[in-house]
Structure 1
Amino acid sequence: MGIFRKLSEHIKHKGLRATVAKIWKHFFFAHQELLWMERDLVTPVPPHKLRPYAPLRLETITPHNTLAFSKHFGDRVGTMAELAVEGHTGHMYLNEQGEAVAFIWGSKVNYHDRHYYGCWFPVRPGEFFEFGGEQIRAYWGTTLSVDLQLNLWQAMAAQGCNKVVDVCEYHNIPALKLHIRMGYKEQGRIMNIYTLFGRWRFYRETAYSGSRLDALRKPASAAVTASAA
């Protein structure tokens, strides 16, 4: 009876079409498009209007300090330890209570994302693959989203990297806008993930021309000129 009640509530709030689409994606077929993005590590970040945040302590994630994730990311404690053991570079940001409120990861080698998408993300020489960036809701809209990337870029540059690459879901508009704000460029590649019956996954990379992000960019202010009569 609980399932039908939840279904009824979902239809009430989201509508029948959205509910049917969600059921179809969950139980039958789903297609995710991950856009490949890139950026050098030296070009300044464009100006932004993000608000400041209270000071946090940055620590490198190790297999021995992941209990800091227990409060806000309790389901990630084991995953964080595994990534650290594999040798990826991870940063976490701790509040005054020693609780992790944000984190981000970078990998200099081909990254097998077995925890989420289930596929391999190749990394070329001189690049690093950025993944897993997340912060709790209290820090949304703050400069932490910029600082955690800049600090990771600096750490990876010290390891010999000169470019950051990552992927972003095409339907994740806030994340795409963050990439635009940070000055990322599209590579013209898409990692396609197909899921059948909520169980089997298949992967295929495709290419595209032009831009998928132009519609999200803020139009430049038009110059106003006055002409003398």
Structure 2
Amino acid sequence: MSVLSKLSEHIHQKGLRATLGKVWRHYVYSHEELLWMERDLVSPVPPHKLRPYEPLRMETITAQNAVAFSKHFGDRVGTMAELANEGHTGHMYLNEDDDAVAFIWGSKRDYHDRHYYGCWFPVKPGEFFEFGGEQIRAYWGSTLSVDFQLNLWKAMADQGCNKVVDVCEFHNIAALKLHIRMGYHEQGRIMNVYHLFGHWRFYRETRYSGSRLDALRKPSPAPVTATAA
């Protein structure tokens, strides 16, 4: 499909304004805000109403078994092997056909995200940086999103870590709600990623006070008070 055909189809599906906005962000300028989040590894996860899922087999990702990503994450096979060779801790979840349907990574040292954002994420002693958590659509809304984090936290605690830190895109509402559900707290820091003319990237960290997530939190139930007879 030619570029003009793709552009025409996108205009038909999304409208002219949305299409122009996408073109501007891709070819001229875009700004991504990544909110730093953290939590300890021992506090219990708040109750949730996620649905259960069929049992899966967890394996540590290695350069040798990364081929399991071929079916559902075919463009990531090489990346998974690279991350394993660099010494990061990765877990994948396999179905009965031995195909990876979910994965998550942790790094005990400063992490250079050359595969996506292109910047460095510093990691302090005792922390680990969690990244790359993803699952196929069939498992969206399931407890797998909780389980694969808990299992990684345990593995990293066994390596001497006591805190998990990560970043979350401010426009990714679903991911932000997941962080709230998992009991994460805002650090008050933002990694700003700027893209210019589709070629150059710039990075800048800023700070803020208060909460950027209050609007996403579910209101607490109103207290029940006794009434006079």
TM-score (norm. length: structure 2): 0.97
Q: Which moved more, 1:138-147 or 1:16-25?
A: 16-25
CA distance in 2, matches of 1:7, 1:92: 36
- In structure 1, what is the Cα distance between the partners aligned to 2:16 and 2:202? 29
Q: Which residue in 2 is equivalent to 1:142?
A: 142
CA-CA distance at 1:63 after TM superposition? 1.1
Report what 1:23 is aligned to. 23
- 1:54 alignment partner in structure 2: 54
Q: Does 1:71 align with 2:77?
A: no
Q: Which residue of 2 aligns with 1:97?
A: 97
* Residue 199 of structure 1 pairs with residue 164 of structure 2: no
Structure 2 counterpart of 1:35? 35
Structure 1 CA distance, aligned partners of 2:173 and 2:128? Answer: 23
Please give the alpha-carbon distance, in whole angstroms, between the structure 2 residues aligned to 1:4 and 1:84. Answer: 40
- The 1-side partners of 2:87 and 2:38 are apart by 22
- Counterpart check, 1:218 vs 2:182: no
* CA distance in structure 1 between the partners assigned to 2:148 and 2:204 by the alignment: 31
Deviation (angstroms), 1:7? 2.1
Letter in 1 for 2:88: H
SS in 2 for 1:17: helix
- Structure 1 residue 17: deviation in Å? 1.9
Q: Shift of residue 13 of structure 1?
A: 2.5
Unaligned runs of 5+ in 1: none
Q: Which secondary structure does the structure 1 equivalent of 2:130 belong to?
A: strand
- Residue deviations 1:178-213 (CA, integer Å, cap 9, x gap): 000000000000000000001100000000011010
Deviation of residue 228 (structure 1)? 1.4
Code of the aligned partner of 2:102: A
What count of residue pairs does the alignment treat as equivalent? 229
Equivalent in the alignment of 1:88: 88
Q: Deviations over 1:76-118 (max 9, x none)?
A: 0000000000000000000111110000000000000000000
Letter in 2 for 1:142: S
State how far apart, in whole Å, the 2-side matches of 1:74 and 1:10 are: 25
One-letter amino acid of the structure 1 residue matched with residue 3 of structure 2: I
1:226 CA drift (Å): 4.2
Deviation at 1:222, TM superposition (A): 1.2
Q: Given the alignment of the two structures, is residue 128 of structure 1 paired with residue 142 of structure 2, yes or no?
A: no
SS in 2 for 1:109: coil
Question: Match for 2:180: what amino acid?
Answer: I
Q: Any gaps of 5 or more consecutive residues in structure 2?
A: none
Query: What amino acid maps onto 2:216 in structure 1?
Result: L
- What is the distance in 2 between the residues matched to 1:189 and 1:73? 31
In structure 2, C-alpha distance between the alignment counterparts of 1:219 and 1:34, rounded to whole Å = 25
Q: What letter is aligned with 2:49? A: K
Return the letter of the residue paired with 1:61.
I
Letter in 2 for 1:82: E
> Aligned AA for 1:127?
E
TM-score by length of 1: 0.97
Q: Identity of aligned pairs, percent?
A: 81
1:3 correspondence with 2:3: yes
Segments of 4+ moved more than 4 angstroms: none
CA distance in 2, matches of 1:165, 1:118: 18
Paired residue secondary structure (2:82): helix
Deviation at 1:4, TM superposition (A): 2.9
Alpha-carbon distance between aligned partners in 2 of 1:85 and 1:22, rounded to the nearest angstrom: 36
SS in 1 for 2:123: coil
